[in-house]
Chain A
Amino acid sequence: MKIPILYNVRSMLQRPYSTALTALGIALVVAVFIGMLALANGFRVALARTGSNGNVLVLRKGADSELSSGVGRDVASMIAASPHVATGPDGRPLVSPEVYVLVPMGKVFDTTKMANVVVRGVSDQAWIVRSNVRVVDGQRPASGRAEICLGERLVARFPHTGIGQTMHFAGRDWTVTCHFTAAGSAFESEVWGENEQFMPVFRGDVFQSITFRLKDPAAFEDARRSLQDDKRMTVDAHRESEFYAQQSQLLGRILAILAWTITSIMAVGAVFGAVNTMYAAIAARQPEIAVLMTIGFKPGSVLTSFLAESGLIAAIGGIIGCLLALPINGLVTSTTNWASFSEIAFSFRVTPLLLLNGFLFAVVMGLIGGFFPAWRAARLRVVQALR
C-alpha cells in the first residue's frame, strides 16, 4: 500500500495560501483554455449545423464558395427535374435556387464599423428545404414584394432590424417582416428575401447556388454523379453538411491552434508555479519524507505521493477553471468567416468534453510541475534529512 493520500491532503491544508495560489494559477490557464476552445467549438458547430445531411448544394464547377459561384436558370430547371430531388406535400420539387451577396452594414453599437452581412435570395421552397429554419416572429416575406426576414442573431447587432422597420441596401428599402432561428447555425446571421427580388438589384440573371432536398439521403453519391456527369451543366454537387463543415475548417483550426499556443505559454507559467510550490513543500517536509523512508516506504511511493499531491492541487485548479469558464457558455460573439468573408455570429460552446479536456490539461500541468520536486523527494538522502 502507498503513502495515504490523507497525508497529502492534510499537508496541502497546512499551507492554504500557496496551495490556493497555485490552484488559482492553474484555474486561470484552464479557464482561458476552455474559453478559447469554446470559441473555436462554437464557430465550428454554427457552420456544421448550417448544413443538412439530406440536402445537396450545387455550385459552379470549381467554385469553393457560394460567393465565387454562378449558375443559370436553365441549370435550376434541370436540377428541379432530377429524379433525386424530393418533393414537398404539394408535389413540387424541394429546390431553392439562391442568390448570395455580401452587403456591408454598420453595426448597431458603432455604425462606422462595417460587417459583411450575407443577403440570401431564396425560393419559397427554401423554408422547407432548410428544415432547421423557423420563423419565430412575424410573417414570411410575400412574393413580389421588397420584404426581408432576418436571422435572429442579426437583430441585436444591426440597426433597423425590428419587424416593420426598413433596411436600406442595394439602392432600395426593404421592409423587415419576420425574424427566424436556424438551430444556432450560420443562417441566423443572414438576411433572407425572395430570390426574384434580389436578382435584378444584385448580380443579374444568375443564381449563386442551388440547394435541394434528396429524395433518399443515402443516394447522395448517385445524385452527385448524375449531376456532375450531365453534359448540359458544369456544376459540383456537395453534401450540404460537408460543405459547411469544410467552410469552418480554416478558421476553426486557426482558433484551435491559437487556443493551444496561448494556453501553452500560460501553462508554462502555471507549471513553474506548481514546481515552486512543490519544491517549497518538499523542502519544508524533508524530515517527514525521511521518516516515511525509514519506516519502509520505497522511493517510488514517495515519488507517487508527491506527484499525487501536485496532481491534486492541479485538479482543484482544474475544477475552479471549469467553473470560471462555464458562464461564457452561450455568449454570442461574431467574426468574419474566412471562407466566405461574411460576418457570422455564434455562441461560445462549452461542452462536457471540453470541460473534461480542461480538467485533464490541469492535471497534466500538475503532474509535469510536480515531477521534478517529487523526483528530488524520492532521491532524498535520509540520513542528511534527519540531521
Chain B
Amino acid sequence: MSTSYLIKNAAILGGEPTDLLLQDGTIQQIAPGLAADDAVEVIDATGLVALPGLVDLHTHLREPGREDAETVDSGTQAAALGGFTAVFAMANTEPVADTAGVVEQVWRLGREAGHCDVYPIGAVTVGLQGERLAELGAMADSAARVRVFSDDGKCVHDPVLMRRALEYVKAFDGVVAQHAQEPRLTEGAQMNEGELSGRLGLAGWPAVAEEAIIARDVLLAEHVGSRLHVCHLSTAGSVEIVRWAKAKGVDVTAEACPHHLLLTDELAATYDPIYKVNPPLRSAADVEAVRAGLADGTIDIVATDHAPHPHEDKDCEWAAAAFGMLGLETALSIVQQTMVDPGLLDWAGVAERMSYAPARIGRVADHGRPIEVGAPANVVLYDPGATRTVDPSESASLSRNTPYRGMELPGRVVATFLRGKATVLDGKLA
C-alpha cells in the first residue's frame, strides 16, 4: 500500500491550484507541476479545495457504555468521512470519563481504530453530578493528556464549583467547556420557548437559560483569569454576551453547531424527535445571529455535537425521545451552505473555524496546522461543486438520527489524510 500521495491541482483554501506531495507523514512539497515517480499514488484534485484536516471539539462517541449507539471505531469512521482528522470525545459515557482510567481507555481505542485522532474530554465533576470536582489533574497527566474538561449534557451550574474548576485547570493550561443551561429554567423543557412552543404545548426552553449561564461564566472567567469555552452557543443573546466579553478582553471562546446554523424551531411542529436537540433549535433570528457571530469571529469554531442515538430513542413521542443529532458527516456541507456559499466565510475562514481554532483551544499541536511544507500531512480534499442527498442508511455511524435526511446538501469530502495516510479516498473509507 502506498504511503506517499501526489495531489495534483488542489486549490489550497480555495486559492490557485497547485500540487502537494504527502510523504512520511508530512507535507514534503507544495508547488505546481510536481512530477510523479512510480512510488507515489497520484490523486487528481482538479476542482477540489484542500483544507487542513478538520478538528471537532465536540463529539459523542458513546463508548464505553452505549456501543449500540456508537463506538470509537464507528464514530471515527464517520469523522474521517466528514473530513476530520481529530475529534474530542465528550465525557458523558457510561462510566463517565471522570478518571484517568476511562480517558486512557477512550484514547487507546482511538489509536487502535486509526481513522482519526481521538482526544478524550474529561468530566469536570464526578459522574457529571455537579457536586465535586473530578480528578482533573490525573486526567491531564494521563497518557490521554486531557486539556478540555466538560460536563456536557449537564451544566456546571453551581457558581462556586464552576469558579473552582476554572481556577484549577490553569495549573495545566486546561479549559472548561461549559454546557450553558440553567437547570431550573429548563426543567422538563422540550423546545425553544416562543410562540411555537406555546402552540405545540411543548415545554419551553428559554434563551435566557443559556444566556444567564454564559453571562455568569464570562464574569467568573474574567474574575479568576481563566480560559472559558462555551459549547454549542445557540441564541442571538449568547452571541451578544460573548462579543461583549471578548471586547472586554475575557479569555473566552465559543462554538456553534452546524444544525444551529441551518435549522429552526419551526421543525418541532412535525413532532418528529429527529429535531429534538440540546440546546434546542432556535428561531430564524437566532440562526441569523449565530451565522453573523461565526462570520465576525465572535464565535471561534464550528463543532458538531455529533450525538448518536439508537433508533428506538427517536422513534417515539417527542417528550420521551433523546436529545441530539448526528453531525460529523454533514458538518462541512452545512458550513458551505450556510457560511461559504452566502459569502459569510471564505475557505481560509473555514480552516480557521474548523481546524486551527479548535486545535488551539484543545491545545493540540499536531492538528490545525496550515497546509505548508513540513507540517503534518493532515489534509482534506473537498469538492464544493458536488451535491448529494443525505441518506441516513449510508452513514458510517451506528445511528441514523440525522436531521438532514433527504435534504440535498452541497459539497462532498473526497479524501482525508491523517499524517499522510489516506483514511478516506474517493469519498469512501480507505
Q: Do A and B come from one complex?
A: no
Residues of B within 8 A of A (CB): none
